Structure 1
């Protein structure tokens, strides 16, 4: 996923946290903020230290990014959203990560049908 599709700055993360709507399941928390003037969606990924060491955290981030790349055509284009991984994600396969991420994105109304 290109850099233009990512929320990178701390101020942007905080804006989505404070002004956005949140939705969660046991594996992920998603914060979503609609931005009607935006051309395409942007995503921020947060994986805390409870997940494990740096290798485990990067592994989880790669799985999330890959899942989002596969779901890209179905994602709502005029919003910023943050995906926060919970510790149980570290023990899941790629298929499970994608399935649970898809579920929470539907709950957050970021993913179209």
Structure 2
């Protein structure tokens, strides 16, 4: 389950637009910035700071995030958003990453599953 390139925020200009909208939501492990666009589907950008560890570890975190987003795909609204990993995420298992990511995406109203939380 991979995310196609059309579902990714890649350009610096796009990241800047999302950050400048200043709609951010956070929990202990992640920060999510979102921007409402007229895209036919969501787009996600990932940011993992060098402070979290060496390249192998940062790439592992990004792989976990991409996999979690791919699993959440049916529940995500059509907005652009950026996920920023905070310190501590490097020690989490995949299930813990999913749980924390789902929580912050629900806070931001990007994840909608029909349940009332």
Q: Scaled by the length of structure 2, what TM-score is found?
A: 0.93
How far did residue 38 of structure 1 move?
Answer: 1.0
Who is 2:36 aligned against? 34
The structure with the largest helix share of the pair is 1
In structure 2, list runs of 5 or more residues that go unmatched.
Answer: none
Residue equivalent to 1:108: 108
The one of 11, 18, 24 aligned to 1:22: 24
TM-score for both structures, normalised by structure 1? 0.96
Which residue does 1:9 correspond to in 2?
Answer: 11
Q: 1:84 aligns to what?
A: 84
Deviation at 1:87, TM superposition (A): 1.3
Give the CA RMSD over aligned residues.
0.6
Distance 1:32 1:111 in 2: 12
Please report how far the alpha carbon of residue 20 of structure 1 lies from its aligned counterpart in structure 2 after TM superposition. 4.1
Question: What is the distance in 2 between the residues matched to 1:72 and 1:20?
Answer: 24
Aligned length: 111
Match of 2:98 in 1: 98
The list of structure 1 runs, each at least 4 consecutive aligned residues, that deviate by more than 3 angstroms after superposition, is none
Q: Which runs of 5+ in 1 are unaligned?
A: none
1:67 aligns with 2:68: yes
Residues 34-53 of structure 1: CA distance to partner in whole angstroms, max 9, x if unpaired? 01x21000000000011100
